A and B are shown apart, each in its own frame.
Chain A
Amino acid sequence: DAKTTQPNSMESNEEEPVHLPCNHSTISGTDYIHWYRQLPSQGPEYVIHGLTSNVNNRMASLAIAEDRKSSTLILHRATLRDAAVYYCISGAGSYQLTFGKGTKLSVIP
């Protein structure tokens, strides 16, 4: 799997948008970018994935840079329930997903 780099932690105010960055400079042309999140005391939860184009779903949006060396997960309105560790993973074409340390998102009421 291609190596990803994420900030260790971020803070956001409730009801404001959150932009979580991820660098994956060694990504190959066929590697997808996946985002998962893990709420306290729960298993990781799939958020979104994409290859080249920006993607939207009910949980979030994924913006992928044109050169694909970075991406940004966008939560449009952060809620307290969005406080979690967010993992960016690339190279999911291999058998297993490799999780890094992720970004711990804190949401301030």
Chain B
Amino acid sequence: DSGVTQTPKHLITATGQRVTLRCSPRSGDLSVYWYQQSLDQGLQFLIQYYNGEERAKGNILERFSAQQFPDLHSELNLSSLELGDSALYFCASSLVGTGLYGYTFGSGTRLTVV
């Protein structure tokens, strides 16, 4: 157990639907990062939050959004889902707002869009 909790572990949904992925960071960590990993793209950075505020954005689609709540857990919302959104979604956390001291990753949510 890395200390980063992601739920659900698996999700199967239909095209056009909306889903919410949840992440609880390791205790004490203030920053949360979301990554998408598909077979042909590798690990792609989506978005980062630090202490409740958006800190950096990567290749996140407009159909996707995220937020970090006062208790520091984060949610990634994916809407108007397409087949190509099928992927593993990882959440990571770190103590500070950069990757300098290392990330702790969760075990991921496997999203399958049918």
Contacts and interface: CB of A to CB of B under 8 A. Distances in A.
B102 A44 contact: no
A52 to B, nearest CB: 15
B8 interface: no
A99 B108 CA distance: 16
B62 to A, nearest CB: 19
A101 B42 contact: yes
A100 B108 CA distance: 19
A43 B90 contact: yes
B86 interface: no
Nearest to A49: B102
Given A42-B107, A43-B90, A43-B108, A96 B102 contact: no
A44 B97 contact: no
Contact of A96 (B45, B106, B108): B45
Interface in B90-114: 90, 92, 97-100, 102-108
Contacts, number: 58
Question: Which of A43, A44, A46, A97 is packed against the most chain B CB atoms within 10 Å?
Answer: A43
Q: Is the interface of A mostly helix, strand, loop or mixed?
A: loop
Given A43-B105, A43-B106, A43-B107, A97 B99 contact: yes
Interface residues of A, number: 22
B58 interface: yes
A32 B105 CA distance: 19
Interface of A: 32, 34, 36, 42-46, 49, 87, 89, 92-102
24 contacts: A32-B100, A42-B108, A43-B90, A43-B92, A44-B90, A44-B103, A45-B2, A45-B105, A46-B104, A49-B102, A93-B100, A94-B98, A94-B99, A95-B55, A95-B56, A96-B48, A96-B56, A96-B99, A97-B33, A98-B45, A99-B35, A99-B45, A101-B42, A102-B42
Interface of B: 2, 4, 33, 35, 42-43, 45, 48, 55-56, 58, 90, 92, 97-100, 102-108
Given A44-B43, A95-B56, A96-B45, 17 more contacts: A32-B100, A36-B103, A43-B92, A43-B105, A44-B105, A46-B103, A46-B104, A92-B100, A95-B48, A95-B98, A95-B99, A96-B56, A96-B99, A97-B99, A99-B43, A100-B42, A102-B42
